[in-house]
Amino acid sequence: MKILITGGAGFIGYHLAKRLSSEGHNITIADNFFRGKRDAELGALLKNPNVHLVEADLSQKDAWNALGKGYDQVYHLVGINGTNLFYEIPHEVLRIGVASTMHALDWFRGVNGVPDAKILYTSSNEAYASALEAYGSLPLPTPENVPLVIADTYNPRWSYGGQKLIGELFFIHYAKAYNFRMVIVRPHNFYGPRSGYGHVIPGTLEKIRVKTDPFPLPGADETRSFCYIDDAVEAMQVVMGSRATDGGTYHIGNPNELSMEALVQEIFNIAKWHPKTLEKKLSPAGSVKRRLPDVSKLKRDTGWEAKTTLEEGLRKTVEWYLLNPKGDSR
């Protein structure tokens, strides 16, 4: 198959491209390297004859012309992720997310030219996360049909969730208006090697590397469930490949919940280093107390479920970050 992955140089895109290319598919990665990294691993992936890179800013309509057409599958991953960036450049988070999604859909329905092609949108649990803040309650585990809520439009934290909410609306109603195949997925805390340095697990490992003590831990009692990247991209491929998922929205995640304190203690154990003092701090405004996806719909429609234990996934992640510390130019 001929497959396009927008934002393909990023964390999820790289691992997805690696998986799909290993199965012999022809992969085009499109990225402008705003966050994606030109590292040795991406370079090795691009040496495969069935993997191609198009450097383009897909928030610009004309940039889509460079991608050509004739794709059987399109994974639309473009977006500015990283909580610190939600606060620092919310206007760009919004602009790039909404503009690239509008252009993706117009190109897919008007230019791509494959009648049975399917396009996947990577939304986020951020699209509904502030429902808990707004209403004080949210079903846990959380199903796909909860209200999508932005609790406070003045809080830049919700720039990311806001543009994902809008993106879901675009995908649903464009697909209905123009009769094409699509599916929406909401990733829940994917982690693993090459996931950057701005998320909780890489951030924890960087503090361990420099032996930060006292060790700061915001939101120690907040809970999350973490899904290892190999499981995550397998789920995305399964969802894309199934006709049962056409037109639907699916949570992708691991149903096992743990606190942030329990997470960092597990990482301390694997890294074989513990600080003398764990300094618990308040979370940033808008941070969500609990996140736990209901993934029963995904299992029902595709049979998929996460296989990698947290210990196994964390060990692989710790090993990679020990070899690739922040600032390493390799």
Q: What is the pLDDT tens value at each position of the chain, 330 positions in all?
A: 999 999 999 999 999 999 999 999 999 999 999 887 899 999 999 999 999 999 999 999 999 999 999 999 999 999 998 888 999 999 999 999 999 999 999 999 999 999 999 999 999 999 998 887 777 778 989 999 999 989 899 999 999 999 999 999 999 999 999 999 999 999 999 999 999 988 899 999 999 999 999 999 999 999 999 999 999 999 999 999 999 999 999 999 999 999 999 999 999 999 999 999 999 998 876 677 888 999 999 999 999 999 999 999 999 999 999 899 886 544
Domain annotation for the chain: domains and CATH numbers: 2-195+226-255+291-307 (3.40.50.720)
Cβ contact 224:257 at 8 Å: yes
Amino acid, single-letter form, for residue 238: V
Alpha helices in 24-76 (DSSP H): 40-46
DSSP 3-state of 130: coil
Q: How far apart are CA 307 and CA 301, in angstroms?
A: 17
- Closest by CA to 146, choosing from 189, 93, 190, 186, is 186
- This prediction has a pTM of 0.95
